[in-house]
Chain A
Amino acid sequence: MKRATLILVPYLWLLVLFLAPFLIVLKISLSDAALAIPPYTPTLKDGIGALIAELDFENFIFLTEDDLYWKAYLSSLRIAVISTLLTLLVGYPIAYGMARAPDEWRATLMMLVILPFWTSFLIRVYAWMGILSNEGLLNQLLIWLGLINDPLTILNTNTAVYIGIVYTYLPFMILPIYAALDRLDSSLDEAAQDLGCTRMQAFWLVTIPLSRNGIVAGSFLVFIPALGEFVIPSLLGGSGTLMIGKVLWEEFFNNRDWPVASAVAVILLLILVIPIVLFQRNQQKQQEAEQ
């Protein structure tokens, strides 16, 4: 009985907060756009029979007919992969430093990583607009230092998007890696060196593989939201920044075509579900192997 209740809770959670909304989106993706409230047809008012009879895959076929959509998916994938790698490059040394720091510092360092969350995400992204713009702080500083003569155009380019994503998602990368490194017994490192490894070799051969789980978890926590990111590219990106989040916005708001927008969202979800399932399976196999 107890066991059943225990299992029921997460399933109920999944049903109410994931499956039900997903089914609604799926249903809309099979409907047709209309000038009405809500702006698609058929709706439940038409009766279940008519509802099912009128659904079709037209919108999904439409997505394959225009190269915009797969280009946007690919471009989003590229931006998400590159920013995940950049976040890892910046985040790992920070997490490593935190894990190796004296005990009495750790709480403070942890606090510093979490501190940015105390300010609204939007305000932080807006602050970057002030830093990166042509007349912004960064350009003024570089000009004052004499490093450049003309301001660099960073705001409204993909570079600004990368900076924004790396900055915003950095804590999500640092925290899991820190958790993995923190559990590492530092005597392993010493043992490796005693057995003839240089410090560098010990790091590559022992520390990195043992923190793999943290790296994978951190990378997923950055990659998944970055793929569908909308706010950062629309505030920091330029007209050339093509991301699926923006395409989705245009379908929804400019074309008022909820069915096509929903079809785009369903495919985005499928793109995300496949790597997540593969990742889960991999983790499971690993655990089984360890046991």
Chain B
Amino acid sequence: MINRILSSAAAAALLAGTALADEVRVYNWSDYIDESLLEKFETETGIELIYDVFDSNEVLETKLLAGGSGYDVVVPSGTFLQRQITAGAFQKLDMSKLTNKDNMWDVINDRLKKYDPEGAYAINYMWGTTGIGVNAGKVKEVLGEDAPVDSLALVLEPSNMEKLSECGVHFLDAPAEIIPATLAYLGEDPDSQDPDVIAKTEPVLTAIAPYVQKFHSSEYINALANGDICVAIGWSGDILQARDRAAEADNGVEIEYYAPKEGALMWFDNMAIPVDAPNPEAAHTFLNFIMDAQNMAAASNYVYYANGNKASQEFLEKDVIGDTAIYPDEATLENLYTTSPYGPKVQRTVTRMWTKIKSGT
């Protein structure tokens, strides 16, 4: 996380000196694109692309709200997008420049309206679910053959977690993902904004927190792939990337992904243009390039996340479009829920509770 901050600080410092017209600065999630697409963009358009990465919505939001981030394209998730639109952080997209807009998938566009009601500020890049990644062999070794790998009970029941802590468990360091999941497990509304309902998750999470080796939002990819940990609550595509890295390394580690049967959070990462983007013209060119069916398919084939581009589906590889962990079937899709951003007061309660859960104070 820190190296990203440093690298983008360096980028911002460079920015102060130069403001070339044909240059576009993109700030995207780490491990989230096929890097050959970046070169392709440069050769096709002649625009120089500066590509930086982050691993938490909070880091992105802080940069945007500080103003003068220097980026032309950023990729916030739905709830953050909604709040940042309210704060006036984005400019409206010029649809006439986005000639590939008809490629977009109406199903996803509709769901995105929860966050961007007029569909005026952002286009969907990828979407996915938050679920459970397991090192199948190790988990069965520890919990036996009938380990509840497709249920949140695996990670929210202290008796399971006590045993799993031997082989290592990581949780996303993202209360806005873990709390809704815990609410779903308790049979409450995962999107609840009521502090009293949210408080019900505290004893559940406090009971299992001592068995969590780390709360972190990107280290689990490598940790799962190397066999350092055996379970992670994480983002679907990240866990599938861990699966592939392990398979490539041929180290005997087999990773599986499950969207929990109690319901899984469905999230959307979307591309938007900051209100003070130095080069909005080039930003639109980049957006349109990404909205191209083949380019979008290349990105999804590489990162194992579903995208919001209907036209790209014919170019997707079988193990992407055919994998229900990536493109869920109808039954799973119905079992997915979305969340709304917390208001400032609730946010503070949630952060405080999260610190208490993690550190015991």
Q: Which stretch from B61-69, B120-128, B265-273, B294-302 is at the chain A interface?
A: B61-69
Q: Is the CB of B65 within 8 A of A37?
A: yes
Is the C-beta of A110 less than 8 angstroms from some C-beta in chain B? no
Closest chain B residue, CB of each to CB of A241: B359
Question: Which of B64, B87, B361 is the most central at the interface, judged by chain A CB atoms within 10 Å of its CB?
Answer: B361
- Chain A hits for B359, CB < 8 A: 239-242
Is the C-beta of A190 less than 8 angstroms from some C-beta in chain B? no
Q: Which stretch from A97-105, A178-186, A230-238, A276-284 is at the chain B interface?
A: A230-238
- Chain A hits for B356, CB < 8 A: 68
Give the size range of B's interface with the partner.
Answer: 35 or more
Q: Is the CB of B64 within 8 A of A68?
A: no
Chain B 48-74 per-residue mask, 1 if CB under 8 angstroms from chain A, else 0: 000000001011011011110000000
Main secondary structure of the interface of B (DSSP, over half): helix
Q: What is the minimal beta-carbon distance from A128 to any residue of chain B, in angstroms? A: 14
- Chain A hits for B347, CB < 8 A: 254-256
- The one of B2, B3, B226, B344 in contact with A135, judged by C-beta atoms closer than 8 angstroms, is B226
Q: What is the minimal beta-carbon distance from A141 to any residue of chain B, in angstroms? A: 17
- The one of B62, B66, B361 in contact with A67, judged by C-beta atoms closer than 8 angstroms, is B361
Is the C-beta of A212 less than 8 angstroms from some C-beta in chain B? no
**Which residues of A145-170 have CB atoms within 8 Å of chain B's CB atoms?**
153, 156
Q: Which stretch from A14-22, A199-207, A219-227, A245-253 is at the chain B interface?
A: A245-253
Q: How far is the CA of A153 from the CA of B165 in the complex (A)?
A: 11
Q: Is the CB of A234 within 8 A of B62?
A: no
Q: Is the CB of A35 within 8 A of B358?
A: no
Q: Is the CB of B56 within 8 A of A253?
A: yes
Q: Which stretch from B96-104, B111-119, B212-220, B320-328 is at the chain A interface?
A: B212-220
- Chain A hits for B168, CB < 8 A: 134
Q: With A36-B88, A37-B89 as given contacts, are A66 and B352 in contact (CB-CB < 8 Å)? A: yes
Chain B 185-200 per-residue mask, 1 if CB under 8 angstroms from chain A, else 0: 0000000000000000
Is the C-beta of B261 less than 8 angstroms from some C-beta in chain A? no
- The one of B67, B213, B215, B358 in contact with A37, judged by C-beta atoms closer than 8 angstroms, is B67
Question: Which of A33, A122, A250 is the most central at the interface, judged by chain B CB atoms within 10 Å of its CB?
Answer: A250
Q: Is the CB of A255 within 8 A of B2?
A: no
- Chain B hits for A239, CB < 8 A: 209, 212, 214-215, 358-359
Chain B 76-89 per-residue mask, 1 if CB under 8 angstroms from chain A, else 0: 00000001001111
Q: What is the minimal beta-carbon distance from A271 to any residue of chain B, in angstroms? A: 18
Is the C-beta of B351 less than 8 angstroms from some C-beta in chain A? yes
Q: How far is the CA of A67 from the CA of B352 in the complex (A)?
A: 11
Q: What is the minimal beta-carbon distance from B298 to any residue of chain A, in angstroms? A: 30
Is the C-beta of B355 less than 8 angstroms from some C-beta in chain A? yes
Is the C-beta of B228 less than 8 angstroms from some C-beta in chain A? yes
Q: Is the CB of A252 within 8 A of B62?
A: yes
**Which residues of B319-361 have CB atoms within 8 Å of chain A's CB atoms?**
344, 347-348, 351-352, 354-356, 358-361
Q: How far is the CA of A284 from the CA of B219 in the complex (A)?
A: 49
Q: How far is the CA of A191 from the CA of B361 in the complex (A)?
A: 55
Is the C-beta of A78 less than 8 angstroms from some C-beta in chain B? no
Is the C-beta of B6 less than 8 angstroms from some C-beta in chain A? yes
Is the C-beta of B148 less than 8 angstroms from some C-beta in chain A? no
**Which residues of B225-242 have CB atoms within 8 Å of chain A's CB atoms?**
226-228
Is the C-beta of B21 less than 8 angstroms from some C-beta in chain A? no
Is the C-beta of B12 less than 8 angstroms from some C-beta in chain A? no
Q: Is the CB of A35 within 8 A of B355?
A: no
Q: How far is the CA of A183 from the CA of B344 in the complex (A)?
A: 58
Q: Is the CB of A38 within 8 A of B67?
A: yes
Is the C-beta of B1 less than 8 angstroms from some C-beta in chain A? yes
Q: How far is the CA of A3 from the CA of B130 in the complex (A)?
A: 66
Q: How far is the CA of A252 from the CA of B352 in the complex (A)?
A: 13
- The one of B2, B209, B275, B360 in contact with A122, judged by C-beta atoms closer than 8 angstroms, is B2
Q: What is the minimal beta-carbon distance from B302 to any residue of chain A, in angstroms? A: 24
- Chain A hits for B86, CB < 8 A: 35
Is the C-beta of A71 less than 8 angstroms from some C-beta in chain B? yes
- Chain B hits for A36, CB < 8 A: 65, 87-88
Q: How far is the CA of A230 from the CA of B344 in the complex (A)?
A: 25
Q: How far is the CA of A255 from the CA of B358 in the complex (A)?
A: 16
Q: What is the minimal beta-carbon distance from A134 to any residue of chain B, in angstroms? A: 6
Q: What is the minimal beta-carbon distance from B356 to any residue of chain A, in angstroms? A: 8
Closest chain A residue, CB of each to CB of B61: A256
- Chain A hits for B214, CB < 8 A: 156, 238-239
Q: What is the minimal beta-carbon distance from B352 to any residue of chain A, in angstroms? A: 7
- Pairs A-B, 3 closest by C-beta atoms: A253-B58, A239-B358, A39-B65
Show the binding face of A for B, using Cβ within 8 Å.
Answer: 33, 35-39, 66-68, 71-72, 122, 133-135, 153, 156, 230-231, 234-235, 238-242, 247, 250, 252-257
* 12 interchain pairs, CB-CB under 8 A: A35-B87, A66-B352, A67-B361, A133-B228, A156-B213, A230-B2, A238-B214, A239-B358, A250-B351, A254-B347, A256-B58, A256-B62
Given contacts A134-B228, A239-B215, 11 further A-B contacts (CB under 8 A): A37-B87, A134-B168, A153-B213, A238-B213, A239-B214, A240-B358, A242-B359, A250-B355, A255-B347, A256-B58, A256-B62
